[in-house]
Amino acid sequence: MNIVFLDSATLPRQLQFNFPYQWQDFAYTSPEETCERIANADIVLTNKVYMGATEMDAAPNLKLIAVCATGFNNVDIEAAKTRGITVCNVPAYGNDSVAEHALMMILALMRNLPAYTRDVSAGFWQKSAHFTHFSAPIRNVNGKTLTIFGRGNVGKTLAHYAETLGMKIIWGEHKNADMVREGYTDFQAALKQADVVSLNCPLNEQTYHLIGENELQIMKPQAILINLGRGGLADEQAVLAALKYGQLGGAGFDVLSQEPPRDGNPLLSHLPNLIVTPHIAWAGDNALDRMVQILQDNINGFIAGTPQNVLV
């Protein structure tokens, strides 16, 4: 089997398989390079490199696309299905890691940690006439309401963590839904009640700009917005404006609409109530170990005739 890993730099771990194979990996692959690099591949590993109909047709021996992530919006599933190419992903490997990252952002923003560390660095505490320096509101999470959009593994894990801190959990219904499912709250009502909104849903046509200017106006003044789902779930320009004008109390983003943001991004701004991390919520050490094991099992199982985590 000829195996090609298109963006191996995104997974700092060694992979091994229990069948004969030839291995070729590339730290990074541009769209213009993909077809040439997979021309002789039987198996393609990709984290974020796009695999569409054109790319699949360039690899006549292609049998398996192994996505090195839970999200698979970088693979044209219908194109793979019509060509008889199996696609598998790595589900649930990073539940704890992503949920911990979200909780870290919630706590930091509710207590205005970035603002206070900035003040200390700027020397404001040192110049205080008192033992303390108070410049921004500090809010406990106990008793506050967390609205989560996305009731998957990460959302459920985050809800569990937040509940142990005394937060009330609301599950937000789909935007523009015809009916509200049992256990969910109407989209707008869920926004209105939230002290914190966390986006943990996939990105698709229905969820693109799930949170925009109108939704930000619906939210409580000084509410917190967390996005660890996908860039594009929130209108980044609208989020920046809401932060600057005081509608939002804070925002924590681990994902942006373009990654890496080589062309800039509205959220690459130095604001004391904004935390942006470089898409690393998934990368806790235990999560990486689980990802590698599941990825290897996916590929070994496919070759053995017992495929798992199959999307198509």
Instruction: Answer yes or no: 174 catalytic.
Output: no
Catalytic residue check, 259: yes
Catalytic hit among 37, 139, 230, 290: 230
**Annotated catalytic residue, options 33, 78, 163, 259:** 259
Length of the chain: 312
- Whether 33 is catalytic: no
Q: Catalytic: which of 37, 101, 139, 279? A: 279
* Residues carrying an active site annotation: 230, 259, 279
